[in-house]
Amino acid sequence: MNKSIYFLCSGNSCRGQIAKGYAKKYLPNWKIESAGVRAEDLDPKAVKVMADDGIDISQQESKKIDDLFLNHANVVITLSGEARDKNVLPSTARWLHWPISDPTLTTGSESEETQAYRDVRDDIKQHIIELTNNIDKL
């Protein structure tokens, strides 16, 4: 069975979806899932900024945390304080917390909001690349 990574965030509409998209690209032999404390609609701005970087996440679905998958995941990565604080993580999983800002909270012009999404996308991408380079150490 493939090893698995579970990305957890607040609503699974943006950060978890971006992380899942990049992880599937960079870690094709791993089972990759994402979920949220709540399941909110997939954020169209997240879909757009990922498409701008050549990753299609438009068919991904927002999900609530699945305790069965959580309890069998090899690596669990929380992307929000809410996801970190509201979950009892299995002792068998390697747990990481990446404090990624929530771009949905950005206010300002359309270009400022889009830039916030790009910044989050690029931050998550960098984390995924670092994870890929160190995956054998987990």
Does the pLDDT at position 81 exceed 60?
A: yes
Split at pLDDT 50, 70, 90, the class of 85 is confident
Q: How far apart are CA 109 and CA 138, in angstroms?
A: 41
Q: Whole-model pTM above 0.85?
A: yes
> What domains does the chain contain, in order, with CATH numbers?
4-137 (3.40.50.2300)
**Crossing angle, helix 44-52 and helix 110-134, to 10 degrees?**
60
Per-residue pLDDT of 27-76, as tens digits, reads 999 999 999 999 999 999 999 999 999 999 999 999 999 989 998 999 99
pLDDT of residue 84: 86
> Which residues are CB-neighbours of 7 under 8 A, at least 6 positions away?
15, 16, 19, 20, 23, 32, 33, 34, 35, 77, 79
Per-residue pLDDT of 1-25, as tens digits, reads 589 999 999 999 999 999 999 999 9
Instruction: Put the strands of the sheet holding 75-78 in their side by side order.
Output: 31-36, 4-9, 75-78, 94-97
